[in-house]
Amino acid sequence: MVPLDRNGGLGQRSEDRETLGSLEYFSTGALSLAISWLCLAVLYGWIVALVQPLHVLSTTALVVAFLTLWAATWLVLDIVWGWQSGRLSEA
């Protein structure tokens, strides 16, 4: 990913970049995983009833649904974290 400076220019020096650190990625990933597990626990009966007509592929559909929920939650939390910390400036 090419860094952008505050005016939208390309090629800013690496020491001036504002990026998310490992702790922030870990925090948003762990929080999104917890939220996904909670949603799965609450909605499990409804999700099983929804995918049951798929028979053999129902477990695959459950896993894909969970991974999609986790990735979407992680993305939203990452964007919100960047927005709240001022890393996503107005263009």
pLDDT in tens, 55-68: 999 999 999 999 99
Structural domain includes residue 56: yes
Measured CA to CA, the distance from residue 87 to residue 68 in angstroms comes to 25
Query: Which distant-in-sequence residues (6+ apart) come within 8 Å of 88 by Cβ?
Result: 79, 82
Query: Is 48's pLDDT higher than 60?
Result: yes
Give residue 56's identity as a one-letter amino acid code: V
| Closest alpha carbon to 85 in 10, 28, 29, 34 | 28
Structural domain includes residue 5: no
Which residues constitute the domain of residue 53? 30-84
Structural domain includes residue 89: no
Structural domain includes residue 53: yes
Give residue 47's identity as a one-letter amino acid code: I
pTM of the model as a whole: 0.69
Structural domain includes residue 3: no
Q: Tokens standing for 53?
A: 């007509």
Residue 82's pLDDT is 82
Give how far the C-alpha of residue 6 lies from the chain's centroid of Cα atoms, to the nearest Å. Answer: 25
Measured CA to CA, the distance from residue 14 to residue 37 in angstroms comes to 37
